[in-house]
Amino acid sequence: MTDQTIRVLIAKPGLDGHDRGAKVVARALRDAGMEVIYTGIRQTPEMIAEAALQEDVDVIGLSILSGAHMELFPRVINALKEREIGPDDVLLFAGGIIPDDDIPRLKQMGFQAVFGPGTSTEDVIKFVREWAGARAIGTA
């Protein structure tokens, strides 16, 4: 019996240690039937890309509250590219404190969605499921 499950990496790049949001999202996605790999705080872009490679995840969610996203996110994208992981291979989304002005540039980089404070976890789940459904990944 083929048993496909959506695998998600939730990671926190940079130096801020506020991981409540990341944990809430991780738990919500788990409760929605996904396998969620949480790597902990203070991850370098290299560590995140390496975890994504080894775990062969379908989805990567980055959480950041430090304001360094325009600095760190492109480095994550590059580290992924170095490992042959492109925007067609994984669903990338971001969450945290991200000014609206930055969102168009993040989307250009390959982020499919940016979730700010007050986002319902239901919206995140729905977003991931729709993407996975379109690619026939997972039964959730």
Rule CB under 8 A: which residues touch another protein?
1-5, 7, 26-27, 29-40, 43, 46-47, 50-51, 53-56, 83-85, 135-136, 140
Instruction: Tell me how far, at minimum, the Cβ of 21 lies from another protein, in Å.
Output: 15
Our CB check for another protein shows the closer of 18 and 83 to be 83
Instruction: Tell me how far, at minimum, the Cβ of 102 lies from another protein, in Å.
Output: 27
Our CB check for another protein shows the closer of 68 and 140 to be 140
Residue partners of 93: CB distance under 8 A and separation at least 6: 59, 60, 61, 62, 111, 112, 113, 114, 115, 124, 127, 128
Instruction: Tell me how far, at minimum, the Cβ of 31 lies from another protein, in Å.
Output: 5
**Span between the terminal Cα atoms of the chain, in Å:** 16
Q: Which two tokens stand for residue 104?
A: 């168009």
List the Cα angle 44/123/3 in 5-degree steps. Answer: 75
Our CB check for another protein shows the closer of 108 and 136 to be 136
Our CB check for another protein shows the closer of 104 and 120 to be 120
The DSSP code sequence of 12-44 is -BSS----HHHHHHHHHHHHTT-EEEE--SSB-
Instruction: Tell me how far, at minimum, the Cβ of 1 lies from another protein, in Å.
Output: 5
